[in-house]
Structure 1
């Protein structure tokens, strides 16, 4: 992975981490699924009028829209509405490292190095420790929603990989278009028309900021960059970077919502960072040996 792409990945994780605080700002004041639908509405329109539909099969666009829109963000925003803290939301999203590595290995035949496996194990230990020591940050009723969101994240990356798209921005925009109907339908099924009736009175400056921050820098810019990197590098290489999101998510939650952080929680987060570092480690002597072999073959 190039240094430039590593830097871009780190900046993206910072953006996504702070996004959880922006989500909480809106989710505390309006219906969470409707908030997500508004996010994707602004992300799709008017961009879709200026972007030609990508040539990939429509099944990939539909799958991306449902999994990404309803599966990842519909469920995660709902869990935040039920009381999951902004810091813990980012952390729980990273349970996706388990299915991502499994999908990469079993379905995409990607190579898992011992360092990736050890790094993932340390990171998972940090995640489990954080969940265990947190008081009130993860209501039990919200936990299944966060796990669905984490699984959906891995499935979303798999869909992008399988589509083999070379039109990343167009794929993102058109895929998100297919998220709108499932999200709106979900609101109707579970809450009827009341959220739509209440919405105009709820659209204050904080809710608008939440919607627009999610729609433009986080979604349009962020996922365009992420999808490009997902296509360029193996899932098992990209997945560990998402472990940084909860670190930035926690920082944002401390700044904006004064989330309490114990020493034990900080230690658990340190495990996650250690896991990320180890998973990206590549011994120099392996690279030297590889270079020598290539030289000898010539």
Structure 2
């Protein structure tokens, strides 16, 4: 990867890692469902001006958007509202890689390699360590569990992406952007039944500049810009070269959350974080290492 393209990759890592701090700020001004609905509405309106409509049939838009856009962020935003620290959320959400492997085995009948089993077990142990240590930190068990549900929703979206590709359709950034017209519907419906119409209108009528800036970051930088650059890199380099960059996201998330949100992580949780990262690294690079050793 050229130095210029590596800088673009680092920009994506920062945008997606800092994204969790911005979400925390956004939840100070909007309810989880309103934040989700307005975010994806903004992405749809802005992104549709820059990316062509995909050739994927509408039914596959729903298969993709409902789990990965609505499900993932409805549970993530709710988790952070109910006590999941932004930094830990950025790490625990990466469990999607493990859930993706498990769901691929269940639904796509894919073969699981021994190193992937070991990686899943290591990451699971790390997650259990993090989840068990919630007495002396800001994290709640409810927030932790909801974040895991968000990660599983992301994984279901990954399986949907595989299915769409197998059907011969494009599952690229164009689908990501245009499918954002779908999640505002369930988000606003949930906001109506959970928050009530009065709170919905009040949050819109009294929206402040901080909340507008938050929505701008989440839609323009984290989604349109982030996925646009990610698609650019994926089109020029192998997936094995680009995909590992996401391992830097929780590093940025944990660091920025500690600096800007004063989040406290216990020593035991740091151990759990390290164990999870070992599992994720093994899952990402294990195949490449085995090929190198077999030569």
CA contact (8 A) 1:27 1:81 kept: yes
The residue correspondences of 1:1-298 to structure 2 (distance < 5 A) are 12-49=12-49, 51-135=51-135, 136-164=137-165, 165-166=169-170, 168-200=172-204, 202-224=206-228, 233=239, 244-279=248-283, 280-282=285-287, 286-287=291-292
Normalised by the length of structure 2, the TM-score is 0.82
Taking the aligned partners of 1:157 and 1:167, their CA distance within structure 2 comes to 10
Deviation digits for residues 120-152 of structure 1 (CA, Å, limit 9, x no counterpart): 322222222112123353324434432321111
CA contact (8 A) 1:68 1:179 kept: no
Name the SS for the 2:29 alignment partner.
Answer: coil
Taking the aligned partners of 1:17 and 1:145, their CA distance within structure 2 comes to 19
Give the 4+ runs in structure 1 shifted more than 6 A. Answer: 2-10
Name the SS for the 2:56 alignment partner.
Answer: coil
Taking the aligned partners of 2:145 and 2:277, their CA distance within structure 1 comes to 25
Taking the aligned partners of 1:3 and 1:154, their CA distance within structure 2 comes to 30
Taking the aligned partners of 1:285 and 1:67, their CA distance within structure 2 comes to 33
Deviation digits for residues 203-232 of structure 1 (CA, Å, limit 9, x no counterpart): 2232122211111121123334557859x7
Deviation digits for residues 94-133 of structure 1 (CA, Å, limit 9, x no counterpart): 3323321112334445453333332332222222211212
* Residue 9 of structure 1, CA deviation: 6.3
Q: Which residue is equivalent to 1:295?
A: none
Taking the aligned partners of 1:148 and 1:244, their CA distance within structure 2 comes to 22
Deviation digits for residues 27-69 of structure 1 (CA, Å, limit 9, x no counterpart): 0222111011111111111332454431212111012222223
Q: Say if 1:13 and 1:161 are closer, same or farther in 2 by CA, change over 3 A.
A: farther
Q: Say if 1:270 and 1:8 are closer, same or farther in 2 by CA, change over 3 A.
A: farther
Q: Say if 1:202 and 1:189 are closer, same or farther in 2 by CA, change over 3 A.
A: same
Which range moved further: 276-285 or 252-261?
Answer: 276-285
Which range moved further: 86-95 or 54-63?
Answer: 86-95
Instruction: Structure 2: give runs of 5+ residues left out of the alignment.
Output: none
Q: Say if 1:38 and 1:284 are closer, same or farther in 2 by CA, change over 3 A.
A: closer
Q: Say if 1:264 and 1:288 are closer, same or farther in 2 by CA, change over 3 A.
A: closer
Q: Say if 1:140 and 1:262 are closer, same or farther in 2 by CA, change over 3 A.
A: closer
Taking the aligned partners of 1:157 and 1:129, their CA distance within structure 2 comes to 26
Which range moved further: 204-213 or 35-44?
Answer: 204-213
Q: Say if 1:154 and 1:249 are closer, same or farther in 2 by CA, change over 3 A.
A: same
Instruction: Structure 1: give runs of 5+ residues left out of the alignment.
Output: 291-298
Normalised by the length of structure 1, the TM-score is 0.82
Deviation digits for residues 258-287 of structure 1 (CA, Å, limit 9, x no counterpart): 111232222222222322333313566844
